[in-house]
Structure formats: structure tokens, C-alpha cells
Amino acid sequence: MEMLQLNDLHKTFNPGTVNEKVALAGVSLQMEAGDFATIVGSNGAGKSTLFNAITGGFIADEGSILLGGQDITFAPEHQRSKVIGHLFQDPLKGTAPNMTIEENLALAYLRAGTAPNAIFSRISRKDKALFREKLALLDMGLEDRMKQPVGLLSGGQRQALTLLMATLVTPKLLLLDEHTAALDPATAEKVLALTKSIVAEKKITCLMVTHNMHQALELGNRTLMMDAGRIVFDVKGAARSKMTVDDLLEKFRENAGKNLDNDRILLSKVEK
């Protein structure tokens, strides 16, 4: 079954001015349920814009978005967030710093609420037990700090908590926008391992932006490449498993018709 279907999405920012910027120039994409695709592309290729179009940060100028068979093209952001989880590079973005871990989780758990009066409910003992159990899976000792404000946690802990919040109620789609890029290598690895296990366990359909070419080929079952607001390359299955980082870079040049201008991509090639 197709979980996500993007049909010819277009978005131009500041149309008709000198700052006109074509951010999405006809993006079409089909994702099967349980697909995990990585996205690479130079800065300004439209990766984050694509994510914002899907979550409803803005409404696309043209095209349509179907999620789980439902047309969500014009649904407001807060409605889409019931079924879409979104993690950003900035680990501070996904949590409320002055509220406790428990309170943050309680808000995330609201997405499960079906009864209209759920907003007047309080955090129950059952909720607390559930939160404690889920926090323990992160293996960061957060289950013993549930009454502490999130602002006291480290960036890595906050990103792990955000990941937990986004998947506490299994979303139909998880969007990861370089969510480990701002963390130190050891923590990044840990958050990535958590991501892999949660996504695999709950069979979440997932899109992940990365600048690490190894990750792009290693994680998930599909790799997409974006340039100038379009998906220029899409590989999965046997063709993908045969691919090397050099092949991927070569593909980029071929498709985009220019050299890579992103130093981070080049660096990540040198590193390994």
C-alpha cells in the first residue's frame, strides 16, 4: 500500500520579486508503507522545504499530498501533526524547556487522544508508568528524572526525548531533518541507533535528510537525491546495495550537471 504520495509539488517563495526562489519545482514521490528513504542533496536543494510542505508549514502552490490514502494538501499543520512526526537539526526545537520531561511526554501523548474531552484530563498514574517504561528504553537514565525541566538536559538527551515524543503514538510518517547533525559523534551514533530500532520495530514510513553519504546508502531501503527543487535520482533494492559512495557522488554530478558545492558532503567522503 502506498503510504505517502506526492504529486508534482511546486513552491516558489517571494514570487515576482528579486528574491524569487523556486524551492520545489515539481516533486513527485511514492513511498510504500514501511519504506525508509534517505535524502541527500546540496544546501538549498529543497530538502527541508519538501519536509515543510509535507508537515503543512506552508501550502504548496501546486500539486497534492496524500498520506495513507487521505488527501492532506490543505489540512492545517496541527492536524497533520497527529500522524506526522518531524525532527529538526536543532535539538532545542522539539521540546518545551521550562516544562518537565513528564509534561512534555504528556503533550506528545495527546496525539493518541480520540475523546474530545481529553484536553481536560490530567497525567494519570498509568501515563506515568508508560512514560517511565518508554524513557528506560532510551538508556539515558531519564526515567529517574521525569520531574526535571527539559531545559536541564543535554542536546543529545533532548533529541532522544524528541524522537521518543514523535514516535510515542506511532506516526504514519516520520521526517528526520539531519536530526543528528548537531550532536557530538558518540551521541549522534546513539540517537541514530535509537532511530533505527524504533523505526524498524514500529515499521514507520520514514524520510531522513543526511549529509553523510555512508549513512545515505547504509540506512533504510531507498536513497533519494535532490537538486534545485527536484528529485533527480532514486535508487533502491539490488541497484542500491551495489552502490558505493563514489558511485553516489558520480550520480550527483551526472544528474545535477555540476560539481558538488557542499563541503560537508566532500568532507564526509574523505573521513571514511
Residues that bind other proteins (CB under 8 A): 76-79, 81-82, 85-86, 93-99, 103-104, 106-108, 110-111, 113, 118-123, 165-166
Number of other CB atoms surrounding residue 146 within 10 Å: 17
For cell 514510513, what's the residue? 205
**In the beta sheet, which residues pair with residue 224?**
39, 234
| CA 219/CA 213 separation, integer angstroms | 10
> To the nearest whole angstrom, how small is the minimum distance from the Cβ of residue 272 to other proteins?
34
> To the nearest whole angstrom, how small is the minimum distance from the Cβ of residue 243 to other proteins?
34
> To the nearest whole angstrom, how small is the minimum distance from the Cβ of residue 197 to other proteins?
22
| CA 270/CA 272 separation, integer angstroms | 6
Judged by CB, which is closer to other proteins: 159, or 212?
Answer: 159
> To the nearest whole angstrom, how small is the minimum distance from the Cβ of residue 227 to other proteins?
28
> To the nearest whole angstrom, how small is the minimum distance from the Cβ of residue 104 to other proteins?
8
> To the nearest whole angstrom, how small is the minimum distance from the Cβ of residue 78 to other proteins?
4
Judged by CB, which is closer to other proteins: 118, or 129?
Answer: 118
Does residue 199 contact residue 206 with C-beta atoms inside 8 Å?
yes
User: At CB < 8 A and 24+ separation, what contacts does 229-234 make?
Assistant: 229/11, 229/22, 229/23, 229/24, 229/25, 229/26, 229/27, 229/45, 229/46, 229/49, 230/25, 230/26, 230/27, 230/46, 231/27, 231/28, 231/29, 232/256
Q: Which residues contact 84 (CB under 8 A, 6 or more apart)?
A: 54, 55, 67, 171, 172, 173, 174, 175
